[in-house]
Amino acid sequence: MVKATHVEAPSLDGVERYPDLFEDGPGAVPGMGDDLRAAVEDAMAEKRVELFTETRVVKVTRGGVEIEHAGERQTIDAAGVVWTAGVRVNPLVERLDVEKTKSGHVVVAPTLQVRGRPEVFALGDIAYFPSVVPTLAGTAQLALQQAHHVARGVQELIDGSVPSAGHFEELGEAVSLGTDDAAVLVEGRVVSGKLARQARFALYTTRLPTWHHRLRVGAAWFFGGKSPRPLGL
């Protein structure tokens, strides 16, 4: 079990509170690469968030959580609990009569055509593309690249030609580390701090589909997205 040092956190009743984070796996943010994971863990250590790895939450109660680590259970009081769950495929996909992996993802060819159904394409979270970089799986940047590729593939089918194989690359990664901090992975290097926070915001807003979306998100972030508030308020 990995632990960082405690830090005083906002309280609602005058009682000192400490932030805890529980992770079922061996480290924080298991879907990210080692460089970004190190930046996230460094930020948590600096903010004195206590990290419990290889720890499972077995029950959430009115007053806290019950956790299990190495076969032993413990109850921890909490002023508030935030649960981030995993993802599963849509029930519609589960009912499709196509080749799927054990986790329910649709198996696709390098062209993103469904195995045995060349007239059907699958992409994004529902598709299993074996040659993709592991850190790209389940990300928006992969789905965006695949969407452009599928559009070309459909046009190629309409034109009577054979769809080409897809090649998808890591374009970078950005993760928020609080109201004034972030970590951004660009060309194999990780940059963190306030500048990274601004870069992450610029990166995400430029990816929004219309100027209306960019204006709304930008205004919300600028006027109300930077001031943390205690739980319950």
Count of Cβ atoms closer than 10 Å to residue 23 Cβ: 17
Question: How far does CA 223 lie from the centroid of its chain?
Answer: 25
Residue 232 has pLDDT above 60, yes or no: no
**CA count, 13 A, side-chain hemisphere, 78:** 21
In angstroms, what CA-CA distances link 88 with 81, 101, 126? 22, 12, 9
Q: What is the DSSP string of 65-127?
A: EEEEETTEEEEEE-S-----------HHHHT--S-B-TT-PEEB-TTSEETTEEEEE--GGGE
Compute the mean pLDDT over every residue in the chain, rounded to the nearest whole number.
81
Which of 142, 99, 17 lies closest to 109, judged by CA?
A: 99
Query: Tokens at residue 142, please?
Result: 């992969």
Is 0.85 surpassed by the pTM of this model? no
Q: Which domains does the chain have, with CATH numbers?
A: 1-78 (3.50.50.60), 92-158 (no CATH), 183-224 (no CATH)
pLDDT in tens, 118-154: 999 999 989 998 888 777 878 888 998 999 999 999 9
